[in-house]
Chain A
Amino acid sequence: AQSVTQPDIHITVSEGASLELRCNYSYGATPYLFWYVQSPGQGLQLLLKYFSGDTLVQGIKGFEAEFKRSQSSFNLRKPSVHWSDAAEYFCAVEGSGYSTLTFGKGTMLLVSP
């Protein structure tokens, strides 16, 4: 069965600094990978997704992620963080054949002034 690990429970970044959130997956074949963001008290919003092709994926709000098969990773990056980026971020993998997602436990991003 597939699994997702997000090693960092919390990360604090200064506003304007760069960000990288880590995600490692376990899946036998080529995975479909996703990053979602959840603002406090809200549902989940899709930031970006990887299916195939170019391993660097661009998403909304200035985020990007790079798929590295050799490292089983799909890390999320942003060059300059804004205070409004403070939220919880979830990495997910789809691979069951029924379009179900397996989520990581999430990384809470705090942005300091």
Chain B
Amino acid sequence: QKEVEQNSGPLSVPEGAIASLNCTYSDRGSQSFFWYRQYSGKSPELIMSIYSNGDKEDGRFTAQLNKASQYVSLLIRDSQPSDSATYLCAGGGSYIPTFGRGTSLIVHP
């Protein structure tokens, strides 16, 4: 059974801080990983994809992948209240991407 594990949270950070969201996966064959943001009552929206070990930066977001440790993370710098949402980690490599259950992030002013 392929699994992607996330702490459900909530993770609460003050505005302007760095939010760190983590994810582990069980399938060593997974080649690609994704972070989705889902606001309450809305559909998931892709915010980051990462395919190789190391860091990938896009604006305030940095995704980190460590295949040896089977670990994926998402850093959000200068967190804003508008970043408050549930963040879903997903692992791919087949035609059935596996989603984690999501981490709820709350950014308080």
The judgment on whether A and B are partners is: no
List residues of chain A with CB under 8 Å of any chain B CB: none
List residues of chain B with CB under 8 Å of any chain A CB: none
